Structure 1
Amino acid sequence: MKLHNRTFLLLGGTGGIGKALVEPLTEAGARVVVASRAPEKFTDSRANVVRLDLAADDLPDQLAAITSLYPEIDGVIHCAGQNQFSAIDQLEPTALDDLLKVNLRSALLVARHFVPRFSALGRGALVFVGSTFGSIGFPGYSAYCASKFGLRGFTEALRRELADTPLQVLYVAPRATRTDMNPELVNALNEALGNQMDDPEQVAAQIIAAMESDQRRRYLGWPERFFVVLNSLLPRLVDKAMLKQLPVIRRFLSGVSQ
C-alpha cells in the first residue's frame, strides 16, 4: 500500500511500537492521528492526538466521534495492547477483562466501525499488531496468548471476508520487544531463557516494510518464525522444549529471578 497522502489512525501511539511508528509514517508522507487513553503523554508535533479508551463500553461511540473529526482517515494501525505474566490461578478477573477488551474486543469493534466507511471510500487498510504468542502458547502468558490467538484468527477471517474488496488487512507478529509494557521481571526472564528482544524501532521498520510491500501477514524474528511453523505442524516437539524451560519460568512466576 502507498503511505503517501494517507491518513492513519494509530492506536497505542504514545509508547512502545506505536510511538516508534510515528516518525516513519510521517516521513513516508502519511498523516497520523494518534489515539490514546492518555493523550497528554503524546508531545510529538508531527501528529494529531485524540482521546480513546479501548477498554470502554462506549468504544463504538468514541470511534464515531473521532471519524467525525477526521473523516479523511483511510487506514488504522492497531498496536495497542496489554500484557500479563501470571500463572492462571494468580490472574485477577478485572485484569483479565481489561486485557481481553484491549487486545481483542477493541480490534473487532475497530473493524466493525471502519470496514463500512472504507468500503464507501473504495480504499482502506486495517493493520493489526499481534505477537509470536498468537501462534505459540507460552507458560505464564495464558491470557495474553488467548487474546493474541484470537486476534490472529480474527484477522485471518476478516481478510478472507474482504478478499473481493479493495480493503487490505495486515497482521504483523513481533517477538519479544523492549517496551515499558514489560516489567523488569519479564526482561530478566527473557534473558534467562536466551530469548532475543527487538527494539520498538526495529519492529516499526518491519511493520512499515510489510505495509509498503502489500503483505498479508509477517512474523518477525528468527528462530521465532521457525517455531511458529514447527508448533503448527509438530506441537509435541515444542511441548518438550517448553517442558525443559518450565522450571525457570515457574521460578519467575513466583517472583524469584535468581
Structure 2
Amino acid sequence: MRLHDRVFLLLGGTGGIGKALVDPLVRSGARVIVASRHPENLEHREGVSMVHLDLAGSDLDQQLSRLSDAYPDIDGVIHCAGQNRFAALSAMAVIELDAQLTVNLRSAMLVARHFVPRFEKAGSGALVFVGSTFGSIGFPGYTAYCATKFGLRGFTEALRRELADTPVQVIYVAPRATATEMNPEEVNELNRALGNRVDPPQTVASQILRAMENDDRRRFLGWPEKLFVVINGVLPRLVDKAMLKQLPIIRRFLNSGVLS
C-alpha cells in the first residue's frame, strides 16, 4: 500500500498509538484526518485536519455519513481507538462493559460497514484495525477487553475474506503491551512484576505503517508474545498452566482495590 497522497481517517488519533502515527503519516506524504470527541483540544498543524466523531454515539452511522460527505477523498481508515479496564469481571459495572463493547468492537464494525461500499465504488481503499495480543490470548482481569479484541480479530478475518475479490484491503495489527496513558500505574507495576515487555507507542506505530506498506493481512507484534499466540491456538492447556502460576501475582493487583 502506498502512503503518499492518500487521505487517512485516523480514529483514536489522540491516544498514545494514534498520536505516534500522525507524524510519520504526514512525513510519508499522506493527509491525516484525526477524529475526536473534542477536536477543539487538538493542535492545528499542516497536513492534519481535526473533526468531531463520537465512536460511542448511538448515531455513529449518521456521524460517519456526514464526515465522509465533508471529506469524500478519504481512501483509508486506521481504527486504533479503544477502551480498557483491568478489573475482575464481578467488579465491572454494566456501563463499563457496554463502553468497551461499543468503542472497541461496535464502532469498528460500523466504520467498515460505512466505508466498504464507498471504497468498492472508488476501486481502492484500506481499512486498518489495531487489535491486541489479548485478541488471541485470554488474560485474567481483562475479560471484557479480551472479548472485544477477540471479536475484532474475528471480524477483520471474516471481512477480509468477504472482500477478497474486491480492491478493498483489510489489515489487522496486534500489539503487545504498549506504554500509553490508558494504563494506570498499577498495570505498569503488574507488567514489571510479571516481566512483561512493554513497547513505546512509536515502535507500535512504525510496525503498523510497515504492515500497511507491505500489504500484510495481519501482523502480531512482540516476542515471545507471537509464539504464545501460536501455542495458545494449538495447545491452550500449556498457556492455562503458565497463567495459573502467574495468577497469585495477578490477583494481588486485581484485589488491591485501587484499580477503578
Q: TM-score, normalised by structure 2?
A: 0.97
Question: Quick one: distance in 2 between partners of 1:100 and 1:49?
Answer: 25
Question: Quick one: distance in 2 between partners of 1:41 and 1:162?
Answer: 37
Q: Which amino acid aligns with 1:30?
A: A
Question: Quick one: distance in 2 between partners of 1:44 and 1:133?
Answer: 34
Q: Which amino acid aligns with 2:59?
A: D
TM-superposed deviation, 1:41: 3.1
Question: Which residue of structure 1 aligns with residue 230 of structure 2?
Answer: 229
Structure 1 residue 8 corresponds to structure 2 residue 8: yes
Poorly superposed stretches of 4+, deviation over 6 Å: none
Question: Which residue of structure 2 aligns with residue 28 of structure 1?
Answer: 28
Question: Which residue of structure 2 aligns with residue 138 of structure 1?
Answer: 139
| Partner deviation per Cα, 1:16-49 (whole Å, 9 max, x = no partner) | 1001000111111111000011223321513101
Q: Which amino acid aligns with 1:19?
A: K
Residue 14 of structure 1 contacts residue 41 of structure 1 at CA under 8 Å; is this kept in 2? Answer: no
Question: Which residue of structure 2 aligns with residue 50 of structure 1?
Answer: 51
Superposition CA RMSD, Å: 0.9
Count the aligned residue pairs.
257
Determine helix, strand or coil for the equivalent of 1:230.
helix
Question: Quick one: distance in 2 between partners of 1:192 and 1:38?
Answer: 36
Question: Quick one: distance in 1 between partners of 2:109 and 2:245?
Answer: 36
Determine helix, strand or coil for the equivalent of 2:65.
helix
Residue 177 of structure 1 contacts residue 200 of structure 1 at CA under 8 Å; is this kept in 2? Answer: yes
Question: Which residue of structure 2 aligns with residue 88 of structure 1?
Answer: 89
Question: Quick one: distance in 2 between partners of 1:144 and 1:72?
Answer: 33
Q: Which amino acid aligns with 1:4?
A: H
Residue 76 of structure 1 contacts residue 125 of structure 1 at CA under 8 Å; is this kept in 2? Answer: yes
TM-superposed deviation, 1:256: 6.7
Q: Which amino acid aligns with 1:49?
A: M
Residue 9 of structure 1 contacts residue 75 of structure 1 at CA under 8 Å; is this kept in 2? Answer: yes
Determine helix, strand or coil for the equivalent of 2:51.
strand
Question: Quick one: distance in 1 between partners of 2:50 and 2:191?
Answer: 33
Question: Which residue of structure 2 aligns with residue 207 of structure 1?
Answer: 208
Q: Which amino acid aligns with 2:171?
A: L
| Partner deviation per Cα, 1:155-214 (whole Å, 9 max, x = no partner) | 000000000011100000000000001011111110110000000000000000000000
Determine helix, strand or coil for the equivalent of 1:208.
helix
Question: Quick one: distance in 2 between partners of 1:256 and 1:244?
Answer: 22
Consecutive unaligned residues of structure 2, counting only runs of 5 or more, are none
Question: Which residue of structure 1 aligns with residue 175 of structure 2?
Answer: 174
More displaced stretch, 109-118 vs 34-43:
34-43
Q: Which amino acid aligns with 1:142?
A: T
Equivalences for residues 144-159 of structure 1 within 5 A: 144-159=145-160
TM-superposed deviation, 1:138: 0.2
Question: Quick one: distance in 2 between partners of 1:227 and 1:36?
Answer: 34
Determine helix, strand or coil for the equivalent of 2:148.
helix
Question: Quick one: distance in 2 between partners of 1:28 and 1:41?
Answer: 25
Consecutive unaligned residues of structure 1, counting only runs of 5 or more, are none
